Chain A
């Protein structure tokens, strides 16, 4: 596609790749976030940046902040960002940058990279030979609470005692026991998920426990009760997969979802690398 040579351009960044991997494996050809340009690789010492040119009139701060309000545009570009990151990640070790990292020119980009050089190197080493996997656990909390009420001997006994109480006292005693059932169910669910987490941790190098999504986000009928990202050495990925498979077998109350390998979105943070 031809573009006016006079058009002012900015640089949109995807991520950092060890320069030696680019040398060894060669560059891949993928489209840029501005469809008039393709992804290019700029090498500064031992760090290569995967980036693409974008037209200034479309990606300047004012215009961009208008565009991110357009959900259709944002969805398309966010998916493009993810898609390109996956393609880069399939071939190279990559430190994924957050959506919308843009520089005015190469000098400005180079100067920022220079200031992060050591951290980038450190993260390259941490990510080498490892994969990010996400695990989510779901349960139907309402159903789970009902099962607690039925299966707990202590609660069953207390319920019998309530029936013997005078009617006026029964109301408050019932409220109290309902609260107890809820608390116990919540604790049982947390215990179950945390125990599972401990098992996965035996194989992972790093973990990040995330917020559970509400139903309006998941669109599911059951409730998310665990959401975490794990950085797993390649040789342990099969073991984690087996762990999840074994958990699924015969499990009635909990549903497991495992996705990956993802670019290490959760484990590339420079500030953590500084420690």
Chain B
């Protein structure tokens, strides 16, 4: 039995979190919690335990920029698209032979 680990002693952080946050019987309580995706939570928590600042220092912060996981990143991506489009429009104008006057622009 020396190879078997009791759940309360040596289970990894990941295994405990994945089980506790994702499993167990669901009954209708009076209060509902909106938990994020359990894998993402586990990764985030693992990093918190290992110090978030340290993780960011070495460049591990993909969840903040991955549009799949972050609403802020989704917004940033939309904004990015909008800005890109504006730049394209401006570039097109600069590149065109006929200079654009303010009046024309407003039309």
Which residues from chain A sit less than 8 Å from chain B, CB to CB?
10, 13, 15, 59-61, 64-65, 68, 71-72, 74-75, 78-79, 81-83, 85-87, 90, 95-104, 108, 112, 116, 133-134, 213-214, 216-219, 238, 241, 244-245, 248, 258-263, 265-266, 268-270
Count the B residues whose beta carbon is within 8 Å of the partner chain — how many?
41
Question: Are A265 and B33 in contact, CB atoms less than 8 angstroms apart?
Answer: no
Q: How far is the CB of A7 from chain B (nearest CB, A)?
A: 17
How many A-B Cβ pairs are below 8 Å?
Answer: 136
Q: Quick one: given A60-B31, A217-B39, are A259 and B20 in contact (CB under 8 Å)?
A: no
- Greatest chain A CB density within 10 A among B5, B14, B33, B52 is at B33
Q: Quick one: given A72-B48, A217-B39, are A98 and B25 in contact (CB under 8 Å)?
A: yes
A98, A213, A266: which contacts B14 (Cβ < 8 A)?
A213
Compute how far the CA of A85 lies from the CA of B10 in the bound complex, rounded to whole angstroms: 16
Compute how far the CA of A65 lies from the CA of B35 in the bound complex, rounded to whole angstroms: 8
Question: Could you list 25 A-B pairs, sorted by A, with CB under 8 Å?
Answer: A15-B25, A61-B31, A68-B33, A71-B45, A72-B48, A74-B41, A75-B49, A78-B20, A87-B8, A95-B25, A97-B26, A97-B27, A99-B20, A99-B21, A103-B31, A108-B30, A217-B42, A217-B46, A238-B1, A241-B3, A258-B3, A259-B7, A265-B20, A268-B25, A269-B25
Question: Are A241 and B4 in contact, CB atoms less than 8 angstroms apart?
Answer: yes
Q: Which residue of B lies closest to A273 (CB)?
A: B25
B10 contact set on A, CB distance < 8 A: 259
Compute how far the CA of A59 lies from the CA of B31 in the bound complex, rounded to whole angstroms: 9
Compute how far the CA of A268 lies from the CA of B27 in the bound complex, rounded to whole angstroms: 11
Q: In this assembly, does B100 line the interface, its C-beta being within 8 Å of a C-beta of chain A?
A: no
Compute how far the CA of A245 lies from the CA of B35 in the bound complex, rounded to whole angstroms: 37
Question: Are B23 and A266 in contact, CB atoms less than 8 angstroms apart?
Answer: yes
A75 contact set on B, CB distance < 8 A: 17, 45, 48-49
Compute how far the CA of A79 lies from the CA of B41 in the bound complex, rounded to whole angstroms: 14
Q: A96-B24, A213-B18, A260-B5 are known; give 15 further A-B pairs, CB within 8 A.
A: A10-B30, A15-B25, A61-B32, A71-B48, A78-B45, A90-B8, A102-B30, A104-B31, A112-B29, A133-B4, A134-B15, A218-B14, A258-B4, A260-B7, A269-B25
